[in-house]
Amino acid sequence: DVKVTQSSRYLVKRTGEKVFLECVQDMDHENMFWYRQDPGLGLRLIYFSYDVKMKEKGDIPEGYSVSREKKERFSLILESASTNQTSMYLCASSLEGLLDSPLHFGNGTRLTVT
């Protein structure tokens, strides 16, 4: 089974801190994604990557950046955390070819920015 592991289940950070959310997958998937999930808004795509060192902006990239130095790891970075970035963050991966390959999700990181 595909395993997508997010390093933290819960995080509490202060406004202005730099925050790193880590995601690792163990199935050699080319594609990796970061979503945030908020009540009433569903899942919104922040960034995605379809190869090492490649990144593409999703629907809501503002305030975030990403890093994909190794195929198995995709990091989401909040350069200066703000309270409106309090949310559930979900990482996912899929095989090459975005079209019909199901996403495999991690358990999520619930981030609170105070």
Residues that bind other proteins (CB under 8 A): 33, 35, 40-45, 48, 50, 56, 58, 88, 90, 92, 98-100, 102-108
Q: Which is nearer to other proteins, 17 or 51 (CB)?
A: 51
Least distance (Å) from other proteins to the CB of residue 110?
Answer: 8
Q: Which residues, 6 or more positions from 66, have their beta carbon under 8 angstroms from its beta carbon?
A: 34, 46, 47, 49, 55, 74, 75, 76, 77
Copy the structure tokens of residue 16.
């202005």
* Choice between 81 and 108, CB closer to other proteins: 108
The distance of closest approach from Cβ of residue 89 to other proteins in the complex, given in angstroms and rounded to an integer, is 11
Distance CA 99, CA 68 (A): 21
